[in-house]
Structure formats: structure tokens, C-alpha cells
């Protein structure tokens, strides 16, 4: 029988506070019998939010007091030096000490990255972790990295991202993933010197199934299972795609509320559009992985609602079940 999965949850961070975290935690723990959740935060608030629940799975949910919180606008260096009693720090400390297998937080991204790197360390040879997210594609699943941790990257770093992304995709998708570099064009002579140098490295690496350059208009076609770029391009692509998703959803709502015939059409087409909206809902793909750390850390969107935070917890469960961090460490050790 598989061992239990223990996740330390930074219950106080994020824009919406612990109520969202508690609601998501209750849903997820009810559906995973092997899951234990360690909620880290203000014990008085957390106990009050949990009062009245008496289901059997509550015994697999524990509260661990933290007297402080890393705010969303906190300077990462200030958090690193002065927030050692915060819910974020203590949750990550549990992972470091072996009390938890992973940490999930909706808090300040820079602070989470800085404290994670300090407490959990990166694998030898990895200077800084990459933020990796799953993207909605026509079929299957595609991972993209980096999504904002490293705004400027060397060719060697992009090659490291490609290897880590390949190991992740191989573990979770059980396929030999195609890897592409995001670029301004598909021609080999196009792009920056760094991207062209990274392409040379990927072509020469037998561990990577390199598929060439990929343009931004092909991000969601599912042609490659791993898309590699620096954090500047990746973060812009992510925010643009989320904005486009909200724009399309809003325009559809407006279109079907103008005039009798359009409203009638909307009535018949509503199930189809609801399904389409759900498939491309950014909340469904919430939960970014900090690849390169020796332990599993998942970053939830700061404004995540109950459903979105639930997805982040599920990403953590998958990462632990598939032993992704261990596999990345083992592969990097054989370079």
C-alpha cells in the first residue's frame, strides 16, 4: 500500500485568506484517503473556521500555529530575514525537516521562492528554480517554464529547464515529451543569441527529445509537451493567455444577451459554452511547480478561489505520487 502523503499548507497567505484554504482543504482531503494536511497559520482563526465539521477525515487535518504572515507586497529579502515565524516559513520548514512531503502556498511569489531556496536548497548545478505551469491545450497536457522566476536566462539555464521539464512530463504524462524553445520564429537563424545557443545545447543532449522552435501562436496546440523560455517571455505569455480567456468569456456573455434570438440561441448552446469555459478556465490549471528545488513546492495564484486552490493541492499530490523531485535529482546527478 502506498504511503500517506503529507502536505504543509500556508493557510494565511493569498488575497482571500484562510477561508478559501480551509474550504479547498476539506474537499481534497475528503477525496484522498492517503492525504494528511498540515494547516499552518493563526490557530484561533483556523480552529474557528473548522468548528462544526465532524467528518472522519478531519482527523487527517492538523493545525500548526504561526504568529506571523508574509504579506503579498513584502520585500522577499525582508521576508527571508525577518519572517521566520510566518506561516510560509514554518510550512516550508516542515518540508525541510521531513514532517511534510510538500508545501502549497498562495503567498508572495518572490518571498516563497527566496525562502524555499534558502530552506530546501536547489539541486547541485541548479542556480535558481524555474516556475513551471500546465497549459490548456487542444489535447493532452503541456508544461511551460520559466513563468517568471528568472527574467534573464543563459543558454545553459534554458537547457536545464528543458531537462527538468522533460523529466516532469515523462513522470506525469508517461510519454517521451517533445520539447520546444519559445521563439519569435521557427527558422533556426531567428531569435536572440541566447535562444540559438540553447537550441544547439538541446540538439546535442540525448536525454531531450528536441522538436525545434515554437512561436507564441502555437502555444495551445499541444504540439510539444514542454515549452521552454525565460521568465520574462513566459510571464507575459501566461498573463496574456489568462487575459484572452477572460476576454473571450466576457464577449460571449455579451453576445448572447443582446436580442431575443441571441438569447434563445444562448439557451440551447449554454451547455456547450459552459463546458468550453470550464476547459479553459485558468483556475483549472492553478498550481505552479518550483522545479529545481530538492523538495516539492507549489505556488497557487494569490487570488485563487476555493476551486483554484483545490487544483494547486492536487498538483502537489501528483508531484509527490510521481516522485518528480527525486527523479529530477537523480537525472541531474548523472550529467
Q: 106 and 15 in one domain? A: yes
Domain that holds residue 49: 1-126+292-322
Q: 266 and 305 in one domain? A: no
Q: 84 and 11 in one domain? A: yes
Q: 148 and 2 in one domain? A: no
Q: 164 and 177 in one domain? A: yes
Q: What is the pLDDT of residue 1?
A: 37
> In total, how many domains does the chain have?
2
Pairing of strands 102-105, 130-135: unpaired
Report DSSP letters for 189-254, one per residue.
T-S-HHHHHHHHHHHH-TTSEEEEEE-GGGTTS-S-SEEE--HHHHHHHHHHHHHHHHHHHHHHHH
Asked if residue 335 is part of any domain, the answer here is: no
Q: What is the pLDDT of residue 168?
A: 93
Asked if residue 46 is part of any domain, the answer here is: yes
Residue 41 to residue 12: CA distance in whole angstroms: 6
Asked if residue 235 is part of any domain, the answer here is: yes
Q: 152 and 243 in one domain? A: yes
Place of cell 487575459: 243
Q: What is the pLDDT of residue 238?
A: 84
Q: 53 and 136 in one domain? A: no
Q: Nearest to residue 302, comparing CAs of 116, 145, 99, 70?
A: 70
Q: 230 and 120 in one domain? A: no
Q: 232 and 221 in one domain? A: yes
CATH number of the domain residue 296 falls in = 3.40.718.10
Residue 10 near residue 107, CB atoms below 8 Å:
yes
Q: 151 and 78 in one domain? A: no
Report DSSP letters for 125-158, one per residue.
T-SS-EEEEEE--SSS-EEEE-SSS-SS--HHHH
Residue 91 near residue 25, CB atoms below 8 Å:
no
Asked if residue 331 is part of any domain, the answer here is: no
Q: 312 and 281 in one domain? A: no
Asked if residue 61 is part of any domain, the answer here is: yes
* Tens place of pLDDT per residue across the chain (335 aa): 357 999 999 999 888 889 999 999 999 999 999 999 999 999 999 999 988 777 777 889 999 999 999 999 999 999 999 999 999 999 999 999 999 999 999 999 999 999 999 999 999 988 889 999 988 888 778 999 999 888 999 999 999 999 999 999 998 887 889 999 999 999 988 999 999 999 999 999 999 999 999 999 888 888 999 999 999 999 898 888 777 777 776 776 666 666 665 666 666 566 655 565 565 666 677 889 999 999 999 999 988 899 999 999 999 999 999 999 999 998 887 76
Cα dihedral across residues 291, 294, 295, 301: positive or negative: negative
Q: What is the pLDDT of residue 132?
A: 95
Q: What is the pLDDT of residue 257?
A: 66
Asked if residue 218 is part of any domain, the answer here is: yes
Q: What is the pLDDT of residue 265?
A: 62
Q: 109 and 144 in one domain? A: no
Amino acid at each position: 500500500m502506498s504511503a500517506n502523503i503529507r502536505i504543509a499548507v500556508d493557510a494565511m497567505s493569498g488575497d482571500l485568506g484562510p477561508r478559501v484554504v480551509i474550504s479547498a482543504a476539506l474537499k481534497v482531503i475528503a477525496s484522498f484517503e492517503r492525504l494528511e494536511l498540515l494547516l499552518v497559520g493563526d490557530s484561533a482563526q483556523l480552529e474557528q473556521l473548522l468548528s462544526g465539521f465532524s467528518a472522519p477525515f478531519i482527523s487527517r487535518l492538523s493545525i500548526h500555529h504561526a504568529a506571523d504572515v508574509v504579506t503579498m507586497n513584502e520585500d522577499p529579502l525582508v521576508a527571508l530575514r525577518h519572517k521566520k515565524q510566518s506561516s510560509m516559513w514554518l510550512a516550508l520548514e516542515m518540508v525541510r525537516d521531513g514532517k511534510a512531503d510538500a508545501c502549497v502556498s498562495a503567498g508572495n511569489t518572490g518571498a516563497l521562492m527566496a525562502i524555499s531556496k534558502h530552506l530546501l536548497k536547489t539541486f547541485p548545478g541548479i542556480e535558481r528554480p524555474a516556475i513551471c505551469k500546465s497549459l490548456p491545450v487542444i489535447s493532452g497536457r503541456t508544461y511551460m517554464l520559466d513563468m517568471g522566476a528568472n527574467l534573464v536566462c543563459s543558454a545553459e539555464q534554458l537547457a536545464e529547464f528543458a531537462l527538468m521539464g522533460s523529466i516532469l512530463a515523462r513522470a506525469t504524462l508517461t510519454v517521451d515529451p517533445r520539447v520546444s524553445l519559445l521563439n519569435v520564429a521557427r527558422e533556426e537563424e531567428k531569435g536572440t543569441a541566447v535562444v540559438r545557443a540553447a537550441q544547439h545545447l538541446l540538439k546535442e543532449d540525448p536525454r531531450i527529445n528536441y522538436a525545434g522552435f515554437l512561436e507564441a501562436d502555437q502555444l495551445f496546440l499541444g504540439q510539444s509537451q514542454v515549452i521552454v523560455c525565460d521568465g520574462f517571455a513566459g510571464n507575459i505569455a501566461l498573463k496574456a493567455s489568462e487575459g484572452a480567456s477572460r476576454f473571450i468569456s466576457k464577449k460571449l456573455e455579451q453576445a448572447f444577451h443582446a436580442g431575443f434570438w441571441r438569447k434563445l440561441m444562448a439557451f440551447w448552446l449554454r451547455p456547450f459554452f459552459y463546458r468550453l469555459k470550464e476547459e479553459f478556465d485558468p483556475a483549472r490549471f492553478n498550481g505552479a511547480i518550483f522545479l529545481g528545488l530538492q523538495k516539492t513546492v507549489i505556488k497557487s495564484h494569490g487570488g485563487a478561489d476555493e476551486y483554484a486552490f483545490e487544483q494547486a493541492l492536487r498538483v502537489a499530490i501528483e508531484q509527490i505520487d510521481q516522485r518528480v523531485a527525486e527523479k529530477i535529482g537523480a537525472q541531474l546527478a548523472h550529467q
